[in-house]
Amino acid sequence: MGDWINIAVRFALYADLMLLFGLPLFSLYALRGGERLAGTALRFGSLITGTAVLGIMLSLLAMLVLAKSMSGVSQFMELERHVFEMIITGTDVGFTWIIRIAALVLALLAALLLRRWPLACLGLVSLFGAVALATLAWAGHGAMDEGTRRYVHFTSDIFHLVGAGAWLGALAAFGLLLRPGSLVASEHMHLLSRVLNGFATTGTVIVVTLSITGVINYGLIVGPTLDGLLSSLYGQLLLAKLALFALMLVLAAANRFRLSPLLERSIQHYQHQQAVTALRRSLFMEIGAAILILGLVAWLGTLSPEIEMAME
């Protein structure tokens, strides 16, 4: 039961912090000045505030789960103060936890001031969200490495997390742009078409980043071998993650080369409903695949690949 609680908390933290970083980032690079300032394209002020608050709550819960695991007690009520003091003051994961809490508090303050200083606060929320997201690397397999290998692993993990956060944030933003009731005005349709076409370069950078860091992480965690991939639980989960990633690439390619041009043509003829429906269906499939990947990543982070593969 404890493992599943840990996995659930890890999953929720991944999703929450990626949205906190990725949504405002999308607004900064995809929208133009007036669109960002007006807040009519993406009304996510309350959503960003909510993710910051939820991130703090989830981080507190994650500390409880970690303390329970490290102390060996059977119930959360059995935890004593000195356990938390030891983790926070005596471990790297505790130090990065403090950084995460501080970053989330600052992100929350910036989110509360979005209406007063939209552009600056979007940048601050995204920055603090990136810092909070990066701290999750210390809860991964890189924490078991030492020396130069440790810092290479952390660097790769952080770039992997940031790339995934940018992609998930973009998917969430497209979901908001495609929400029912928002596609009435022609200006909104032109905005949707423009940001879809404009995401091509950003999307390519994200995919390349995830691919390179994914290969690096595999080499650092498992090593230059494919043994045990099919027979071990770790390998099977990793293959499932790769299959879902490939599905996301196929869907993203369909959006870029077929559905986005279809939307652009349909807008010119004032008959965009079919294109919007197809885009919405493809987007929801991509979001579903992303959610499943986050679940698998949360599970993979609790497993020891060396032990898993050695047992097979």
160 and 38 in a common domain: no
**If you average pLDDT over each of 114-118, 244-248, 259-263, which comes out highest?**
244-248
What single DSSP character describes residue 9? H
- The overall average pLDDT reported for the chain is 88
Looking at residue 248, what is its pLDDT? 96
166 and 28 in a common domain: no
209 has a pLDDT exceeding 90: yes
Q: Count of domains in the chain?
A: 2
181 and 108 in a common domain: no
Looking at residue 269, what is its pLDDT? 67
212 and 92 in a common domain: no
Identity of residue 209: T
| Tens digits of residue pLDDT in 23-66 | 999 999 988 776 666 455 567 778 999 999 999 999 999 999 98
pLDDT class of 75 with cuts at 50, 70, 90: confident
Which positions ≥6 away from 31 have C-beta within 8 Å?
A: 41, 42, 195
| Full residue range of the structural domain in which residue 151 is found | 145-312
Identity of residue 264: E
Q: Of the candidates 118, 139, 160, which is a domain's last residue?
A: 139
By the 8 A CB rule, do 82 and 73 touch? no
Looking at residue 308, what is its pLDDT? 52
What single DSSP character describes residue 67? H
The pTM (predicted TM-score) of the whole model is 0.92
244 and 123 in a common domain: no
Looking at residue 100, what is its pLDDT? 98
| Tens digits of residue pLDDT in 152-185 | 999 999 999 999 999 999 999 999 888 876 655 6
Identity of residue 233: L
Give the 3-state secondary structure percentages of the chain, helix then strand then coil, rounded to 5.
Answer: 85, 0, 15
Which positions ≥6 away from 71 have C-beta within 8 Å?
A: 78, 79, 80, 83
297 and 181 in a common domain: yes
By the 8 A CB rule, do 59 and 13 touch? yes
| Mean pLDDT, residues 81-98 | 90
Q: Which of 21-30, 92-101, 185-194, 234-243 is predicted with the least confidence, judged by mean pLDDT?
A: 185-194
114 and 7 in a common domain: yes
Quick one: what percent of the chain has pLDDT higher than 70?
Answer: 91
CA distances from 92 to 9, 68, 95, 120, 299 (A): 19, 17, 5, 31, 22
Q: Of the candidates 78, 110, 139, which is a domain's last residue?
A: 139
